[in-house]
Structure 1
Amino acid sequence: MRALILSDIHGNLEALTAVLAAAQPFDTLWNLGDMVGYGASPNEVIDLVRPLAELTVRGNHDRVCCGLSSALGFNPVARAAALWTQRTLTPENTAWLRAVAQGPLQPAHPGVTCAHGSPLNEDQYILNMRDAWAPLQQMPTPITFFGHTHLQGGFAQKEHDWQELKPRYSTHDQAESVVLDIAPGTRHLINPGSVGQPRDCDWRAAFAIYDSDAATIHYHRVPYDLTTAQGRILMAGLPERLAARLREGR
């Protein structure tokens, strides 16, 4: 079984389209949330990913952009994007976002949990081993997929051995992948990275493939039509910073 894991698409249609093309073939899709916010194609992203996803977890931007919680906790740029997204979403997509379940959720495949932020608190970021320690200890499944940080990688633990996972790539302009073997008896927190707004200084769209038969996780990066994505943001009247940071990858 090959599962495509996506997170933090953030209204970036060009990045999502590139990822779906590069990820073929896959058997199922698990969506870790934050489909909207920041980018200028929220309806198009939802219309594309919604019918494909076996499982979707809500993200904090999804929650704010559909009106379930206030944007006051966001910084000014994120707040402006969220309010624009609220006005732009179709009634159908707003209603669907409001119904998306809070994580953590478990797909039909055994041994896996999916969350947006920490599986212990959807708004908490898992940035270091201190953040990862409690989820690694407490989750009922050996593998937990999470997003929210926009940083591809994760954490692993086997008995007294703890490890931070950071895929290493050789370029920043071509499609690349890095394979992680899932060792027996090891617990993992895996972040596929952000499809539409990476923040690890690599502008390419990020995703992961979980191959349960081979016991591997493939981290991927793929280039996409950055110019068009930036142009959509500027033409929508969204803050220019949202377009500039796509090239910076941070």
Structure 2
Amino acid sequence: MRALVLSDIHGNLEALNAALAAAGEVDAVWNLGDVVGYGASPNEVIEIVRAKAQYNVRGNHDRVCCGLASAAGFNPVARAAAEWTRKELTEANREWLAAVPKGPLMPEGLPQVALAHGSPLNEDQYIITMRDAWAPLQQSGIVVTFIGHTHLQGGFMQKNEEWRELKPQYSKKNEAESWTLEAQDGMRFLINPGSIGQPRDNDWRAGFAVYDTDAKTIVFHRVPYDLTAAQGRILMAGLPEKLAARLFEGR
């Protein structure tokens, strides 16, 4: 089975469409959360995800934008975007977002796979360093746990006494590229597919992953998208200009 793993779309319709086109035929779509917030196409993005994703995990921006949590902990720019998004959401999309479950979830028939937004131990915890990854990998018997939240594509691997940080290697800046990781027996992984709508690893291209359960591979992807259109939507919506600028910067 080939599963397309998406995370942190953040209302970026152009990036989502580019990722879906680049992924091609897949058997399943897994969404790791933060469908909305920051970007200016929350309803359009939710409607695509609702139609395509078999599994959805809620993110912190999803909780705030649908009214389940306060924006008090957000910085001013994130708070402004969340408040705008909450007003823009249709009632049907707000209700759907409020019903998205907390992770981790385990896809049916795949007992060695889990889906989470932040850490599988705490949905709001960022896993950025090996120190962050240590407890989740030690305490979980799951082989592959997909996570989002940091907007940093890559992850962590553990096998016996070996620990390794995983960072896809790319050479281009404006073209589609991929990087393949082989999931060998005995390894356990925390895998971040990257952010579709707002990467923070200094690469503006949309990031996602495709997990092939038969080939035991995880293929990371970066694809360009219509950046100008996404930025224009943000500016036309009256959202903070910083949200448009950071798309180009990839941070």
Length-normalised TM-score, structure 1: 0.99
Q: Please list every run of 5 or more consecutive structure 2 residues that lacks an aligned counterpart in the other structure.
A: none
Q: Measure, in 2, the Cα distance between the counterparts of 1:79 and 1:47.
A: 23
Residue 141 of structure 1 and its aligned partner are, at CA, apart by 1.2
Residue 68 of structure 1 corresponds to which residue in structure 2? Answer: 68
Residue 174 of structure 2 corresponds to which residue in structure 1? Answer: 173
AA matched with 2:220: Y
Residues 81-136 of structure 1, C-alpha deviation per residue, up to 9 Å, x if partnerless?
Answer: 00000000000000011100000111112310000000000000000000000001
Residue 137 of structure 1 and its aligned partner are, at CA, apart by 1.1
Secondary structure of 1:50's partner? helix
AA matched with 2:182: D
Q: Measure, in 2, the Cα distance between the counterparts of 1:238 and 1:60.
A: 19
Residue 130 (1) aligns with residue 139 (2): no
Residue 153 of structure 1 corresponds to which residue in structure 2? Answer: 154
Residues 179-233 of structure 1, C-alpha deviation per residue, up to 9 Å, x if partnerless?
Answer: 0000100000000000000000000000000001111000000000000000000
- Which segment is superposed worse, 2-11 or 132-141? 132-141
AA matched with 2:240: P
Residue 7 (1) aligns with residue 7 (2): yes
Secondary structure of 2:114's partner? strand
Residue 22 of structure 1 corresponds to which residue in structure 2? Answer: 22
Q: Measure, in 1, the Cα distance between the counterparts of 2:141 and 2:202.
A: 33
Residue 49 of structure 1 and its aligned partner are, at CA, apart by 1.1
Residue 140 of structure 1 and its aligned partner are, at CA, apart by 3.1
Pairing of 1:179-194 with structure 2 (within 5 A): 179-194=180-195
Residue 59 of structure 1 corresponds to which residue in structure 2? Answer: 59
Aligned length: 250
**Structure 1 residue runs of 4+, over 2 Å off?**
none
Secondary structure of 2:51's partner? coil
AA matched with 1:229: A
RMSD across aligned positions (CA): 0.5
AA matched with 1:181: E
Secondary structure of 1:243's partner? helix
AA matched with 1:79: R
Identity %: 71
AA matched with 1:19: A
Q: Measure, in 2, the Cα distance between the counterparts of 1:135 and 1:75.
A: 27
Q: Measure, in 2, the Cα distance between the counterparts of 1:6 and 1:138.
A: 25
Residues 22-51 of structure 1, C-alpha deviation per residue, up to 9 Å, x if partnerless?
Answer: 001110011000000000000000001111
Secondary structure of 2:52's partner? coil
Residue 31 (1) aligns with residue 36 (2): no
Q: Measure, in 1, the Cα distance between the counterparts of 2:151 and 2:93.
A: 24
Pairing of 1:63-142 with structure 2 (within 5 A): 63-108=63-108, 109-142=110-143
Q: Measure, in 1, the Cα distance between the counterparts of 2:53 and 2:77.
A: 29
Pairing of 1:210-229 with structure 2 (within 5 A): 210-229=211-230
Residues 149-202 of structure 1, C-alpha deviation per residue, up to 9 Å, x if partnerless?
Answer: 000000000000000000010011000000000010000000000000000000
Q: Measure, in 1, the Cα distance between the counterparts of 2:191 and 2:54.
A: 18
Q: Measure, in 2, the Cα distance between the counterparts of 1:135 and 1:98.
A: 26
Residue 241 of structure 1 and its aligned partner are, at CA, apart by 0.1
Length-normalised TM-score, structure 2: 0.99
Residue 242 of structure 1 corresponds to which residue in structure 2? Answer: 243
Residue 163 (1) aligns with residue 164 (2): yes
Secondary structure of 1:101's partner? coil
